[in-house]
Amino acid sequence: MIAELGLAALWLAASLAALQLLAGALAVAGKGGDMAGLVRPAAVVQGLLALMSFAALILLFARTDLSVLLVATNSHSAKPLVFKIAGAWGNHEGSMLLWVTVMGLAGGFVALIDRRLPERTMLATLAAQAFVSLGFYGFLLMSSNPFARLDPAAAEGAGLNPLLQDIGLAFHPPTLYLGYVGLSVAFSFAVGALITREVGPLFARAMRPWVLGAWIFLTLGITAGSYWAYYELGWGGWWFWDPVENASLMPWLAATALLHSVSVLASRDALRTWTVMLGVVAFSMSMIGTFLVRSGILTSVHAFAVDPERGAFILVLLAIYIGGALVLFGLNAASISEGKRFSVVSREGALVVNNVMLSAILGVVLFGTLYPLVTEAFDTRVSVGPPYFNPVSAVFFVPMALVLMAGPLLRWRQDNAGRLGRPLIIAALAMMAALLAFVLLGGGGTLALIGFVLAGGLAAASVMPLKGRNLRRTPLAVWGMVVAHFGVAVALAGMACESAFSVEKLVAVRIGESVVVGPWRVVLRGVEPVAGPNWTALEADMTASYQDSATVAVRPQARSFWSPPQQTSEAALVTHRFGQLYAVLGEAAEGGRWQLRLWWKPFVTLIWLGGLLIALGGLLALTSRVAFDMRRGFARRRIVMRREDTGR
Amino acid sequence: MRLLACLLALWFAAPAAAQDSMPPAPWAYRQLDDPAQEARAQALMETLRCLKCQSQSIADSDAPMAGDMRSQVRQRIAAGEDPEAIRSWLIERYGDYVSYTPRLTSLTWPLFAMPLVLLALVMLLLRRRLRKGDSA
């Protein structure tokens, strides 16, 4: 019954999306008459119906209703409840349902609250949002029905991939999806503005909170995903340039560029066409990412849905949306003027460098990710990995980071480079200090060196916009920028340290023996069997002490899940002020020894701390923008009320 | 009760484990004694693809085949072979797919041309954008 209700809600939501599209399109064309009044309510109800449908799916998973095919193939009655619920989106159908739900809710929210844009642009935006939603509803209903029944019901479910049974990963996909789908709103705004050709600061201000919000979720999603790979895969790697990681990085790069250009448009009315273009590109990258992951076309660690038919469906959707938006851009962009001019040395000039470099990195990642498909067509399989991506993206990252040191200090429109003499000398000194520290500490690796030096300069330069300001009266938006840029420096420092200073020890030891890893002494005291709800494991009982200080317990496990049968290693991490000790229990070796893998990774946690700071910076900026808009909204209403009073 | 469940699980897991029960290759989980040699081996292993896994290098994998390859790499490095010679030997055996560092061939040249094209585009865009602004 619940499954049928969910399916009915999904069909209704799809038909409301069709109505929203039709009414919106007619109204924009000027033929709708009263139809225009339908658009906003349709958007709201559509969002609620999608939410109902998703709630039904969650309920089915929570109850492990094995008469539903999706539940039977992806869940198991012996799983902890939180993973049963997370299982609802840990598969293809469920994650697509989550996608349309978030998209519907976002559209409904825009319809409900946004009153800034000219009504015609708004209607075009909502029609565009419905058009995109409709494709994904069609995809769900035609080829990936999450509510299909299984008759007779299964006796037991097939289980969820044990690697996914991790609290971090349970919430990693929804976070990324909020980001992806938030960008759909930016896309719809861009398409709406292209249709009515009203691109200006108003449009930028309406779009900005969505871009910021989506970008925050993408940042958090990528950070969490990277940390998950780090501790779950058991070898201490934190970024693999895996196609699925790239699929989340590409929208992030585009959104980062968009975020900066939209703020130029909002405050200076410059970079109009460029901003619209990035709005189209950002969501296109989200869809390409989804296509790469969901079609399984690039098999990788993450691709759990391997189904070429669905890939073809998404490919057609991609062609329609991206192609359509680009055609629209080609037709209408010429009639949108560039906006205000600015000189090379200005805040805008620096932001143009940021935009162009981020776009180039995006190009590198996109090309490197897709190129193996091209060679496969010629029967040669090649791999494009870290040795390609790292140096090539650095070519574009380094100049961007250098400009980033000066950019936030520049004035809008026109500035004099000579004014920046002192701050730039300080940044240069910080870079030299970093260089010296790196050499003295005996670090190795060219890229690590470059990263470390840039991190030093950036850390110093990023806080300089606060100089000479009264810190308590500094606008939140400035704090947001400072925190996010400082976060970039922090993450960069972490990456450089991890690559330059990590110590690795692979050993086979007897019970009672000790191993020295960097400043740590680790003792293996025993290995015992332990059991969890759906796994059994061997657990090592170890102690570790940092430079002969007090010992801490370290308990890595080698787990065996039985449904589906799979082995995973659960690393044990000891977080210290100066970094992390990473311990993994391997197999039993001859002579009663146990294989241990131990790493000392100095300052590795800075990578994710930096990611969190970047997201926090975004949150501060978003808060400041939303608060500003709300104050303005109140003020406007008060003026209207006063006018009405005096009119009487 | 818990222990019983454990033992039962181990009992049932045994046949599945039997396939991998051959002891791992000698240098799969053991480092070379000379730190300089080990560093060279590590740098090479990080750029070789584990053919059984999906997107991991042989330096990041538990797969038995990755272990065998690590052992091969370490033995050859210890015997004084050049890392690039070892890479070529592996490519000869397993194809280009095994190396994360693409070689420049008639099929892969666009990978190397693309960054240059992008660089040229970046220059062009920046010059156009910024110079046009200058005149204002």
Residue B128 is assigned to a structural domain of this protein: yes
Same domain for B94 and B30 = yes
pLDDT in tens, A281-313: 999 999 888 777 776 666 544 444 455 677 778
Q: What are phi and psi of A576, to 5 degrees?
A: -120, 160
**Per-residue pLDDT, B2:** 41
pLDDT in tens, B78-95: 998 999 999 999 999 988
End-to-end CA distance of chain A: 57
Same domain for B96 and B29 = yes
**Per-residue pLDDT, B15:** 41
Same domain for B95 and B77 = yes
Nearest to A536 among B9, B101, B115 (CB): B9
Task: Calculate mean pLDDT across residues A533-539.
Answer: 87
**Dihedral of alpha carbons A479, A482, A485, A487, sign:** negative
Q: Which of A75, A40, A45 is nearest to A60 (CA)?
A: A75
Cβ–Cβ pairs < 8 A, chains A and B: 159
Same domain for B28 and B90 = yes
Same domain for B77 and B28 = yes
A81-85, A113-117, A215-219, A625-629 — which is least confidently predicted?
A113-117
- DSSP SS3 for A540: strand
Same domain for B52 and B114 = no
Nearest to B55 among A234, A301, A530 (CB): A301
Q: Which residues contact A442 (CB under 8 A, 6 or more apart)?
A: none
- Say yes or no: ipTM exceeds 0.85: no
Q: What are phi and psi of A586, to 5 degrees?
A: -95, -150
Which of A382, A527, A528 should be substituted to probe chain B, the one whose Cβ sees the most B Cβ atoms within 10 Å? Answer: A382
Give the distance from residue B79's alpha carbon to the nearest chain A alpha carbon, in angstroms.
Answer: 20
Helix H or strand E segment including A553: strand A551-554
Residue A317 has pLDDT above 70, yes or no: yes
List per-residue pLDDT tens for chain B, 136 residues long: 344 444 444 444 444 444 445 667 788 888 888 888 998 999 999 999 988 877 788 888 888 888 889 999 999 999 989 999 999 999 999 888 899 988 888 888 888 999 999 999 988 888 877 765 444 3
CA separation for the pair A82, A79 (Å, rounded): 8
Residue B81 is assigned to a structural domain of this protein: yes
pLDDT in tens, B51-64: 887 778 888 888 88
Residue B133 is assigned to a structural domain of this protein: yes
Same domain for B112 and B92 = no
Q: What are phi and psi of A596, to 5 degrees?
A: -125, 140
Domain that holds residue B106: 102-136
Which pair of structure tokens corresponds to residue A550? 């007090």
**Per-residue pLDDT, A423:** 86
Nearest to B60 among A233, A244, A344 (CB): A233
Q: Given an 8 Å threshold on Cβ–Cβ distance, is B13 in contact with A385?
A: no
How does residue A368 score in pLDDT terms, banded at 50, 70 and 90?
A: very high
Same domain for B135 and B82 = no
Residue B11 is assigned to a structural domain of this protein: no
B10 touches A: beta carbon within 8 Å: yes
Q: Which residues contact A23 (CB under 8 A, 6 or more apart)?
A: A32, A35, A36, A38, A39, A42, A127
How does residue A588 score in pLDDT terms, banded at 50, 70 and 90?
A: confident
DSSP-assigned letters across all residues of B14-60? HHHHHTT-SPPPTTSS---SSHHHHHHHHHHHTTBB-SSSSS-BGGG
Residue B62 is assigned to a structural domain of this protein: yes
Same domain for B120 and B53 = no
Same domain for B107 and B91 = no
Q: Given an 8 Å threshold on Cβ–Cβ distance, is A234 in contact with B62?
A: yes
Amino acid in the structure at residue A632: R
Residue B16 is assigned to a structural domain of this protein: no
- Measure Cα distances from A384 to A182, A226, A371, A583, A635 in Å: 30, 19, 8, 29, 55
Q: Given an 8 Å threshold on Cβ–Cβ distance, is B126 in contact with A352?
A: yes
CATH code (residue B60): 1.10.8.640
| Residue found by looking up tokens 């390609």 in the block | A388
Same domain for B59 and B31 = yes
Whether the Cβ atoms of residue A478 and residue A625 lie closer than 8 Å to each other: no
Which pair of structure tokens corresponds to residue A410? 């520049």
Which of B55, B90, B107, B117 should be substituted to probe chain A, the one whose Cβ sees the most A Cβ atoms within 10 Å? Answer: B55
End-to-end CA distance of chain B: 82
Residue B55 is assigned to a structural domain of this protein: yes
Residue A210 has pLDDT above 60, yes or no: yes
The number of folded domains in chain B is 2
**Dihedral of alpha carbons A505, A508, A512, A513, sign:** negative
DSSP-assigned letters across all residues of A576-643? ETTEEEEEEEEEEEGGGEEEEEEEEEETTTHHHHHHHHHHHHHHHHHHHHHHHHHHHHHHHHHHHHHH
More confident residue, B128 or A69: A69
Task: Calculate mean pLDDT across residues A82-90.
Answer: 84
CA separation for the pair A30, A222 (Å, rounded): 43
Q: Given an 8 Å threshold on Cβ–Cβ distance, is B107 in contact with A378?
A: yes
Q: Given an 8 Å threshold on Cβ–Cβ distance, is B111 in contact with A349?
A: no
CA separation for the pair A384, A144 (Å, rounded): 32
Residue B79 is assigned to a structural domain of this protein: yes
pLDDT in tens, A415-435: 887 788 888 999 999 999 999
Whether the Cβ atoms of residue B61 and residue A235 lie closer than 8 Å to each other: yes
Average pLDDT, chain A: 87
Same domain for B64 and B34 = yes
CA separation for the pair A471, A486 (Å, rounded): 16
B15 touches A: beta carbon within 8 Å: no
Give the distance from residue A611's alpha carbon to the nearest chain B alpha carbon, in angstroms.
Answer: 23
Residue A522 has pLDDT above 90, yes or no: yes
CB atoms within 10 A of CB A85: 18
| Residue found by looking up tokens 């949306």 in the block | A321
Parallel, antiparallel, or unpaired: how do β-strands A520-531 and A551-554 relate?
unpaired
CA separation for the pair A133, A107 (Å, rounded): 9
DSSP-assigned letters across all residues of A502-530? -EEEEEEE-TT-EEEETTEEEEEEEEEEE
